[in-house]
Amino acid sequence: MANFVAPEIKKFAPWDYVVFAGLFLVSASIGVFFAIKERKKKTSKDFLVGGRQMTCGPIAFSLTSSFMSAVTVLGTPSEVYRYGASFIVFFLSYTLVIIFTAELFVPVFYRSGITSTYEYLELRFNKVVRFAATLIYILQTILYTGIVVYAPSLALNQVTGFDLWGSVAATGLVCTFYCTLGGLKAVVWTDAFQMMVMVAGFATVLIRGSILNGGPSSIWQRASEGARLNIFDFDADPLRRHTFWTITIGGTFTWLGLYGVNQSTIQRCISCKSERHAKLALYLNLVGLWIVLVCAVFSGLVMYSHYRDCDPWTADFISAPDQLMPYFVMDIFASMPGVPGLFVACAFSGTLSTVAASINALATVTFEDFVKKVFPDISEKRSTWVSKGLCVLFGALCTAMAAAASLLGGIVQASLTIHGMCGGPMLGLFSLGILFPCANWKGAAGGLLAGITLAFWAAIGSFVFPAPAAKALPLPLSTAGCVLANGTDALGTAAPTAAPHRPLLADTWYSLSYLYFSAVGCLGCAAVGLLLSIVTGERSPCGDTVRFLFFKTQDKCILLASIKMQGILTLQTRVPFSQVDLDNNVPQAATKKPGREDSFQSKAENETPRQLPGYNPKEKSYTNMGMESRL
């Protein structure tokens, strides 16, 4: 390969360090502020779910910041630069995901009064299913958080000269610090601040990049000439890496596993003071997702316009595609001290918010699903201290996991692959419980095992045997404008080669688009779970089991919650579809149905929305109540 003369790229200056350090200082200060402000509130509920009194605004910022991590800031522009702007189709996927989450999953979780989403699985099925799902979630979150910590640190280290393990350690320490001190409120308000830093960083890069490249019209024209605007590729081949269908269908399944049933998301939704605030937070968050997506995609097009004749990746100026964005920033802001520090703060804002949310969610599920089971009579004071100790433990684990993240390749594909492998089967499991009343614990356990097996089989196979170049070939990247070491010019393109000696499944099953891993896991779990439930024929017992369902029966009825035992939660019985208030999801009248629910039917018929536990007639919505408040 030809050797090119690399342009001199400036490293971090003192002002860059000042701006970057300011991000960590403000984040840590927010944790200290809430530790002082909330020092008299010593319950675990205050620490883990903010006392269930959060409003929609900060929660919306927090959700956007957490899931638009450094993976988005660094990885998405690189994807657009190399593969084109088809990533913008996630605009549709995000919309579908938020609608399903707000209208299907959040009402069920919110009205149950749970703290851990996996409590639902015990109420609906049994402890075995709950613990299995909790362990899978812990594995998924620690793996993903390792990528989020390591990838931006590596990219920035090799481009800016910023110390790799210093940034990894600083990220882990600061996140653990403000999570442990301030709990969920500190996480949410820090996320809101970090979201503003992310947008400011993107805006600075876009403005400067557009000026240097002749404005948006010139950038658009060059992107079109370079085939970067072939967005709507309707090829139905599931082996193609990115098409309209893989992004719309596969992306929806992947992100629904993240939003619809993920503890990190649901924990913040149920911390809202009412169900209306929770839904509004999700829809406001959707606007934030759109804004960040557009910024990231256009950043990729600006980079392509700038390097269309001399690609740094092909010319070997950088060692990984994920370093393109920081390389670009250091290039265009060489004469503006402090601005590169702002972009690094932008990238690490996404990292800090994601890691903090993960640590808080991991501490919550571990405390609720394991500690409280072993020590059911633990005092509130000890509960708070145990929760803080868990934050420290998981902060250390997530930081340590960063060392293993170097083996996982590109950060966008690696992160979405992990979510697909674990999140897809989890989505299938919760969908079984919420949508299918016939599903029992045997079907749920068997379905979860089948979904995990299928998703891991496809994902690990694709890692060992990457898809053929024809299915995942980057668009042409030129080095015509680069200067050879001997002073001559050269033209080159980047073209990966396929590995030899590939087994039969390597070009079929193992070449499946990584965005479909979640769909494979979800549908596999649901199909096997339903089949096993039908074969075993054993319905979930009534007893003290509380089963939440949301489905239409053959007679066009809706069942939102099927059992009310000893005053636990809320009974809403089957009613004709025409008599259901869809705005409040509350029956206005009940019809008598024979069967096992007869003993509860007459009482339910006399209930109005204003008599139901947690219903707030002033807001015409449900007010947040912990399960202990419903007993």
pLDDT, tens digit, 9 for 90 and up, residues 580-619: 443 444 444 334 444 433 433 444 444 444 444 555 665 5
HSE value, Cβ hemisphere, 13 Å, CA-based, for 452: 16
Strand partners, 622: 615
What mean pLDDT comes out for the span 531-559?
54
Whether the pLDDT of residue 283 is over 80: the answer is yes
Give pLDDT tens digits for 440-498: 999 999 999 999 999 999 988 888 888 777 677 788 888 888 888 765 545 555 454 44
What mean pLDDT comes out for the span 626-630?
49
Positive or negative CA dihedral for 457, 459, 463, 467? positive
What is the H or E stretch that residue 559 is in? strand 557-561
Tokens of residue 584, six digits: 């409040």
What mean pLDDT comes out for the span 563-576?
36
Residue where the block lists tokens 């003290």: 544
What is the rounded CA–CA span in Å between residue 55 and residue 53?
Answer: 7
- Count of Cβ atoms closer than 10 Å to residue 229 Cβ: 16
What mean pLDDT comes out for the span 393-404?
82
What mean pLDDT comes out for the span 363-384?
84
Whether the pLDDT of residue 545 is over 50: the answer is no
Q: State what percent of residues in the chain have pLDDT above 90.
A: 24
Give pLDDT tens digits for 60-71: 888 887 777 677
Q: Would you say 80 and 301 are in contact if contact means Cβ atoms under 8 Å apart?
A: yes
Phi and psi at 557, nearest 5°, equal -115, 160
Residue 41's pLDDT band (cuts 50, 70, 90): low
What is the rounded CA–CA span in Å between residue 442 and residue 126?
Answer: 10
Whether the pLDDT of residue 529 is over 60: the answer is yes
Q: Would you say 434 and 215 are in contact if contact means Cβ atoms under 8 Å apart?
A: no
Q: Closest by alpha carbon to 119, among 255, 244, 266?
A: 266
Q: What is the pLDDT of residue 621?
A: 61
Q: Which of 52-61, 62-71, 372-381, 423-432 is predicted most confidently?
A: 423-432
Q: Would you say 178 and 187 are in contact if contact means Cβ atoms under 8 Å apart?
A: yes
- Count of Cβ atoms closer than 10 Å to residue 236 Cβ: 9
CATH 1.10.10.10 corresponds to the domain 14-529? no
**Which residues, 6+ apart, have CB-to-CB distance to 416 below 8 Å?**
254, 514, 515
For residue 623, what is the DSSP state? B
Residue 286's pLDDT band (cuts 50, 70, 90): very high
What is the rounded CA–CA span in Å between residue 366 and residue 252?
Answer: 28
Q: What is the pLDDT of residue 117?
A: 87
Whether the pLDDT of residue 91 is over 90: the answer is yes
Q: Closest by alpha carbon to 190, among 70, 24, 365, 67?
A: 24
Residues carrying CATH 1.20.1730.10, the chain? 14-529
The vertex-118 CA angle with 117 and 122, nearest 5°, equals 130
Residue 381's pLDDT band (cuts 50, 70, 90): confident
For residue 575, what is the DSSP state? E
What is the rounded CA–CA span in Å between residue 267 and residue 32?
Answer: 22
Residue 219's pLDDT band (cuts 50, 70, 90): very high
